[in-house]
Amino acid sequence: MGAPHIGLRGEEIHVAIDDTAILAGCSFDVVPGEVLGLIGPNGSGKSTLLRTVYRAIRPTTGAMWIGEDDVWNMTARQSAQRTAVVTQSASTDFQFSVAEMVLMGRGPHKGLLDRDTAHDRRVVAWALRAVDMTTFRSRVFATLSGGEKQRVLVARALAQESQVLVLDEPTNHLDAHAQLDLLELVRSLGLTTVVALHDLNLAATYCHRVCLLDRGRVVGIAPPRTLLTREVLRDVFRVDGEWLTSPTTGRDHLALTRPATSTTTDTEKP
């Protein structure tokens, strides 16, 4: 749903909550149509940085640009027209059907009293097909499995027909096949995408570049194989890593092990 390409750029983003610095000057860019992986240990600030992109947290200082526009000078509605989001913990207990959930993605393009158009219905059908959930369209969302829900939430984001796509650990709950399917789809959309991922191999396979966060700072932005050196893996992730090239696919994969020297936490029973 061929929206023209637009880039995304964060400039010296600082976020402090209750006087604690969560992000300490993060700068990054996503070129139009690029899939940028956001990686880093638990608590490094990935979700917080994504929130500043989709206007859920206002940076203490710094600016977030979508194309020529500062996200924080837009209205919430303008932002939602440009940026679609799949978050870590979007759940609903309402009794909406799958099709109704996906139709909500059309919201930012409609007035309060606007009826659904033929275009809305076509987009919803396309989004459900894209995530292979067409046969679930009449099911109640709350009754779906975790993985099925996740795919519907991605469909809802697709239905938004935005230029920028933000995904926070979208492969959570998904089985191995569904993980590859989803990231293949994300990559094929050609949207300007930022996706937080824990699985470094998925990041290496599907992201043009990765942005590595550690304790609220950007360690680097580069293609996965360039950025994820033995030293970085040890310093930031506290793992030993080795890049191996598959003889069948020619793809690079990371083999990770726990360092032998790793300090063990005291797990002995008193």
Ligand X SMILES: Nc1ncnc2c1ncn2[C@@H]1O[C@H](COP(=O)(O)OP(=O)(O)OP(=O)(O)O)[C@@H](O)[C@H]1O
Q: Which is nearer to ligand X, 13 or 123 (CB)?
A: 13
Our CB check for ligand X shows the closer of 88 and 257 to be 88
Q: Using CB under 5 A, which residues numbered 100 to 139 contact Mg ion?
A: none
Near ligand X in 5-24, by CB under 6 A: 17, 22
Nearest Cα to Cα of residue 11 among 57, 56, 63: 63
Stretch of 44-52, 118-126, 181-189, 259-267 contacting ligand X, by CB under 6 A:
44-52
For Mg ion, the binding residue among 13, 15, 28, 47 (CB under 5 A) is: 47
Window contacting ligand X (CB under 6 A); options: 37-45, 111-119, 217-225, 259-267: 37-45
The item of ligand X, Mg ion, none sharing an interface with residue 43, based on CB under 5 to 8 Å by kind, is ligand X
Q: Name the 3-class secondary structure at 254.
A: strand
State which amino acid sits at residue 126: W
Place of tokens 């929130």: 51
CA separation, residue 168 to residues 9, 154, 171 (Å):
18, 11, 9
Contact call for residue 52 and Mg ion (CB under 5 A):
no
Does residue number 259 form part of the binding site for ligand X (CB under 6 A)? Answer: no
Tell me, by CB under 6 A, how many residues bind ligand X: 10
Query: In the set 28, 35, 37, 40, which binds ligand X (CB under 6 A)?
Result: 40
Closest among 152, 164, 169 to 80, alpha carbons compared: 164
- Least separation in angstroms between residue 52's CB and ligand X is 10
∠11-13-19 over CA atoms, to 5°? 160
Q: For residue 43, state whether it binds ligand X (rule: CB under 6 A).
A: yes
- Minimum CB separation of residue 43 from ligand X in Å reads 4
Number of residues that bind Mg ion (CB under 5 A): 2
Of residues 50, 38, 57, the one with CA closest to residue 213: 38
238 is a contact residue toward ligand X (CB under 6 A):
no
10 binds, among ligand X, Mg ion, none (CB under 5 to 8 A by kind): none
Tell me the C-alpha distance between 84 and 107, whole Å: 11
Could you tell me which of 116, 101, 117, 217 has the C-alpha nearest to residue 152?
101
Nearer to Mg ion, 99 or 213 (CB): 213
Beta strands in the chain (DSSP E): 8-17, 20-30, 35-39, 61-66, 69-70, 83-86, 164-168, 192-196, 209-214, 217-222, 240-245, 252-257
Evaluated on CA atoms 72, 35, 39, 84, the torsion sign reads positive
Interacting residue ranges for Mg ion, rule: CB under 5 A? 46-47
Interacting residue ranges for ligand X, rule: CB under 6 A? 17, 22, 40, 42-48
